[in-house]
Chains A and B, each alone.
Chain A
């Protein structure tokens, strides 16, 4: 009888603990998990971007650093070749001006992408189905670096810059081509 109770108690506690752990992992960890709160509700607006970088479904939408929604869908417009991003804004933020400005920004230097909203001056607000017209695409670090190298090569090489810039910017050790064009500059 005694051992029977230990058995039942032990098994019960173990299974309970296991399910609590599973529940914790499933609901608390993923940002897109089955949250208990009602944050899944909200209204949808859309915005077109030329380049979204590595923005993903579930990335936060913030205004002044406060999370006001999340990215609900991402697809490509087959006509304009732009990325159409669907945003879900939480229902309590229903007074965002409809001429607000959406830009894709990066959390820290190496962090993930998120969408930042800056308020416009309109008297009418974003609502279900609205479209954000003013957008700024993601800044892709690699293309910035490429441009930087191209401009360096332009200054150093003069005429045949395009043919030089391409192989240099793709070379495996970026420090070498970066150092070379820099050195002659102070001499001039």
Chain B
């Protein structure tokens, strides 16, 4: 009995994975003609990116500040407070920047995408489009997906830069680390490879989070409860997948 249920869950998981992958292929095919309507994409970049800017900047500032505080406490024991700059930069660029941005992105923009598309589904707007020979994948799903894909790396970069200045604020202004040493140690520790790694990570997270958000909304059960459930699933799946992909990508990059 329990064995059968396990079997069921496994099968459902595989089915979900397959349907998401298929959806991604359909979406990618529709992405090319979607560029013929750049206004729709611009609107989605505004919606997912520009409107997440405040929360991203605020979060970046405080993550950077707390990173400096903790790092200083630890590095002080070894008498190498000057390494604070490099520690903060590496942590920010490679891990915290992409990951925290992706988690915030899933909560701020992903939920909005899912509930918006889910409500379109629930109120039969998507079906109406199909009846009018308008492909909803092309005009609803693809622009939102591309918008998220464009917004995410930019948000992560802004997050990292604000975070570095937050770390500098606490490290140099409050805790008295030498300003020159802070930046020069940072520059000597960070390589082009590290920046690249953070960028690729944020791009992959952006793809995963946007895909999940659009997919959950598009395939939401057309009821009020169904839309709510889909929104919850977006946050849970995006967060878990972000952390999982982070491990895989870090292992692949090392």
Contacts and interface: CB of A to CB of B under 8 A. Distances in A.
B188 A112 contact: yes
B80 interface: yes
A94 to B, nearest CB: 25
Interface stretch (B44-52, B112-120, B169-177, B220-228): B44-52
B59 interface: no
A24 B161 contact: yes
Given A25-B93, A29-B187, A30-B187, A18 B157 contact: yes
Interface string B188-209: 1111101100110000000000
Contacts of A108: 80, 82
A111 to B, nearest CB: 8
A93 interface: no
B157 A21 contact: yes
Interface string B33-50: 000000000110110011
A91 B203 CA distance: 39
A111 B81 CA distance: 12
Interface residues of A, number: 29
A181 interface: no
The SS class assigned to the B binding surface is helix
Interface size grouping (class) on chain B:
35 or more
Interface in B155-195: 155, 157-158, 160-161, 186-192, 194-195
Interface string B80-92: 1011000001000
B153 interface: yes
Interface in A1-60: 7-8, 10-11, 13-15, 17-19, 21-22, 24-26, 28-34, 58, 60
What 6 A-B pairs come out closest when comparing CB atoms? A18-B154, A14-B50, A21-B157, A10-B50, A11-B46, A21-B161
Given A14-B151, A19-B154, A109-B80, 20 more contacts: A7-B43, A10-B50, A11-B43, A11-B46, A14-B45, A14-B50, A21-B157, A22-B154, A25-B157, A25-B160, A25-B195, A26-B192, A29-B186, A29-B190, A31-B187, A32-B191, A108-B80, A110-B78, A111-B80, A112-B188
Interface of B: 42-43, 45-46, 49-51, 53, 78-80, 82-83, 89, 93, 150-151, 153-155, 157-158, 160-161, 186-192, 194-195, 198-199
Interface of A: 7-8, 10-11, 13-15, 17-19, 21-22, 24-26, 28-34, 58, 60, 108-112
